[in-house]
Amino acid sequence: MAKVGSSLMAIAEVKTSSCSAKATKRVAFQGLAPLLWFSFGTVAILLQEVLSVYPLLSPPSLTPEQSNRVCNALALLQCVASHPDTKILFAQARIPFYLYIFLGTIGESRPFEYLRLATLGVMGALVKVPDTRVIIFLLSSEIMPLCLRAMETGSALSRAVATFIVQKLLMDDVGLQYICYLPERVFAVNHALENVLASLAEQPSTRLLKHVIRCYLRFLDDGRSLWVLRNFLPKRLTDGTFDHCLREDQTARMWMQQLLDNLPGRPVTKEGGGI
């Protein structure tokens, strides 16, 4: 047990700023996720690390060292969230509930941004490989508003991860039905995607643009969203703003053409949209 504890502590000491080093550690310990989850008291200790900074969130007083320590714990939880043998157990234990508070913090300094990004990384690990049970849990726990907020106000990297999560939620039939059930939800997602496009106009990223286009393409599979998209599709998608990105990526260009072919520029009435 002492040997196992020493191994876990060695991994936990990896600095948050050294992402490649953490990735190397996770690859070296292929069985790390089950070891973390099934070792007595280990997850409880990681949650204690998470809870320890709650009093520092408001008013914002988190130091870089404290943020780094919690981010290391979140990196280990991300490992558990990504493993096929522990992912559903992670969700069923409601572990994400302990982390959502970090997505709602108001601190704009780097320690807070690192904390938000690490939390988004855990959620991204949960949805990376599709599992409807996980999607149902996340939607029931109101992950969508938190991701939309990150898409609108987060750093470039936070926006990218949050958009990826929303795309993964949409790709599942349960997620698509949940969002399209109410026009207000479609409007909210569209507004967040529009903000992402505005940021891309200043800092282009073909990879993130593809996530955005994929979200809109998925909306086409549910007729309840057509009226919103035909009338409120962001102009930046159609005015040539991202032509340089589309020229560089054949897949993105094909998806964009497919989207435009199915969403004529002519506005339609609400009755015609079927909502």
Structure tokens, 106:
């108001």
Q: What DSSP state is assigned to residue 224?
A: G
**pLDDT value at residue 157:** 93
**pLDDT value at residue 262:** 87
Q: How far is CA 223 from CA 38, 228, 270, 272, in A?
A: 45, 10, 12, 10
Per-residue pLDDT of the chain (275 residues; tens, 9 = 90+): 434 344 443 444 433 334 444 544 555 567 899 999 999 999 999 999 999 999 999 889 999 999 999 999 999 999 999 999 999 999 999 999 999 999 988 778 999 999 999 999 999 999 999 899 999 999 999 899 999 999 988 889 999 999 999 999 999 999 999 999 999 999 999 999 999 999 999 999 999 999 999 999 999 999 999 888 888 999 999 899 999 999 989 999 999 999 988 876 544 444 333 32
